[in-house]
Structure 1
Amino acid sequence: MQSILMVGQSNMAGRGFLTAVPPILNDHLRMLRNGRWQQLAEPVNVDREVAGVGPAPAFAQAWSADHPADTLGLIPCAEGGSALADWAPDAPLMRHAISEARFAQETSEIVAILWHQGESDSLNLHYRTYRDQLRQTLTHLRTALNLPTVPLILGGLPAFLGQHGFGLSATEAPQIDALIHQTASDLPHTYFVTAADLTANPDGIHLDAPSQRRFGVRYYQAFRQRADVLAPLPDEPQRVAQLTAHPLTPAETLYLQSKRFALGQTTFTEFMAAVRASQTQGADA
């Protein structure tokens, strides 16, 4: 089994509205929760009650299309609102991420690290020290996990920051975005992914769910090609559509029906009918 580590702040955890995009369901995708590899379900990174769609499930689904016989697990460690200082080597967030990643390494091989952070540092001249701090943070993370060559993917900041809503305070986002890109150039096996043309939730600071799907596809492109992604992909809409275009397996159908029943969206009679139908589907497969 292979896995990816998710670190950073809320746009890595995800705040995209869950109802705005089709769900990603895949028997071969897992998430680390309560010390177990559970079937992936969004939100993956539940750092807040309002957690939603982030970039990692789209990355994982794209990865699975290229590795159909393998299993990939997500290790969620992002924390909304966290500044870069909160990810210092001895800070609780870094210690937690390293602890979770080491636990995951007992049963999986970490093949990528996904990082997105910077909104909380896009003010008060934090850009003056951001580049050195980011290099130190990422180097420490690699060293602590003994992952010197695993691809580390850094997401850029979206252009809507600093314009409205909660994003008004992020007036120095262009400077931070440039420093993130420079850091990717500074460090080996590290790649930058642009947030160009991505759009916001009404709050003006969080990427909306469709944009998170696009962002995840870009993250995967950087991982697959071991290269920066500096512009939207020419076939991005098609790649996003393919994430949820496959017919559901019996197990995926049963999981979806179980979730609907648990949320009170269907009756027990309807749920049991769905169970019998999935069993029949499985027998015919």
Structure 2
Amino acid sequence: MKSILLIGQSNMAGRGFIKDVAPIYNEHINVLRNGRWQMMAEPINFDRHVSGVGPSASFAQAWTEDHPGESIGLIPCAEGGSSIDEWTIDGLLTRHAISEAKFAMETSEIVGILWHQGESDSYGERYKTYEEKLRSLFKHLREELNAPDIPIIIGELGHYLGEVGFEKSAVEYKQINQVLSKVAHTEKNCYFVTSKGLSANPDGIHINAISQRKFGLRYHEAFSKQKHILDSLDFEQEWIEKVAKRELTKNERRFVQSTKFALGQLSFGEFSINISNINERE
């Protein structure tokens, strides 16, 4: 199985409202939880009790479409609110991400790293030292994972920052984006993904659910084509609508019913009838 390491802060973890998008269920997408691979369900990255939709679900869904019958694993290690100074080579977050990645490597092959971070460094002239710290992190990750050529996909900060809500103070996001772009264009096997046209939740900092679906597609396009994505993709909305109508497999339908029962949305009788109906259909 292939796997992807997810690192950065809250917009990689995901804060999009789950109710705003159709769920993605796919028996070929797994998430590393408590040392075991489990079928993916959002939220994927439980860094906070308010976790929601991030870019990784649509990234992984697009990957499975390009690799029929194969499986991909997601390794969630993003931490909301974290600054670049918390991603030092000896920092707790970096050590945790490397530990999780190495554990995942026992049963999978890590083929990419998705990075989205910088909102917490978009003030106080922190951009002046950001580049050196980011390059140091990427170099360390590749060395520790013994993966010198692993692709690293870097997402741009939202263009809505610095206007309203919690990130009204993020007035230097443009400078951080310039650094992110520079690193992506000069580091080996690094690719930049635009946030052009993406929108935020009412809090003014977190990318909303629909935009996260689009962002994940852009991350995948950069990863699969090994190129920078500097504009929105023509098929983003069409793809979202197509995935929402995708017919679930037998295992996926069982998973959905089990989830609803566990959440108290179905009685045991209703659950039993629905599972029986699923079994009888095939």
Report the counterpart of residue 147 of structure 2 in structure 1.
147
How far apart are the structure 1 equivalents of 2:61 and 2:17? 19
Report the counterpart of residue 86 of structure 2 in structure 1.
86
Partner amino acid for 1:211?
Answer: S
How far apart are the structure 1 equivalents of 2:243 and 2:96? 31
Q: Once the 2 structures are TM-superposed, how far is the Cα of residue 269 of structure 1 from its aligned partner?
A: 1.2
Report the counterpart of residue 122 of structure 1 in structure 2.
122
SS in 2 for 1:44: coil
Report the counterpart of residue 159 of structure 1 in structure 2.
159
Q: Deviations over 1:150-189 (max 9, x none)?
A: 2110000111100000010111001101110000012100
How far apart are the structure 2 equivalents of 1:238 and 1:178? 30
Partner amino acid for 2:138?
Answer: L
The reply on whether 1:37 has 2:37 as its aligned counterpart is yes
Partner amino acid for 1:151?
Answer: P
SS in 2 for 1:78: coil
Q: Deviations over 1:40-76 (max 9, x none)?
A: 1100100000000000010000000111111100000
Report the counterpart of residue 205 of structure 1 in structure 2.
205
SS in 2 for 1:243: helix
Contact kept? 1:42, 1:52, Cα under 8 Å = yes
- Structure 2 unaligned segments of length 5 or more: list them: none
Contact kept? 1:251, 1:278, Cα under 8 Å = no
Partner amino acid for 2:23?
Answer: P
Contact kept? 1:196, 1:231, Cα under 8 Å = yes
Contact kept? 1:123, 1:171, Cα under 8 Å = yes
Report the counterpart of residue 26 of structure 1 in structure 2.
26
SS in 1 for 2:94: helix
How far apart are the structure 2 equivalents of 1:187 and 1:141? 13
Report the counterpart of residue 191 of structure 1 in structure 2.
191
Q: Deviations over 1:252-285 (max 9, x none)?
A: 111111111111112111111111011112xx3x
Residue pairs, 1:1-285, within 5 angstroms = 1-281=1-281, 284=282
Q: Once the 2 structures are TM-superposed, how far is the Cα of residue 241 of structure 1 from its aligned partner?
A: 2.3
SS in 2 for 1:115: strand
Partner amino acid for 2:262?
Answer: A
SS in 1 for 2:168: helix
Q: Once the 2 structures are TM-superposed, how far is the Cα of residue 77 of structure 1 from its aligned partner?
A: 0.3
Q: Once the 2 structures are TM-superposed, how far is the Cα of residue 242 of structure 1 from its aligned partner?
A: 2.8
Q: What is the TM-score of this pair, normalised by structure 1?
A: 0.97
C-alpha RMSD over aligned residues: 0.8
Q: Once the 2 structures are TM-superposed, how far is the Cα of residue 108 of structure 1 from its aligned partner?
A: 0.1
Partner amino acid for 2:30?
Answer: R
How far apart are the structure 2 equivalents of 1:69 and 1:186? 35
Q: Once the 2 structures are TM-superposed, how far is the Cα of residue 245 of structure 1 from its aligned partner?
A: 2.8
Q: Percent of counterpart pairs with the same letter? A: 52
Displacement over 3 Å in runs of 4+: none
How many residues are matched? 282
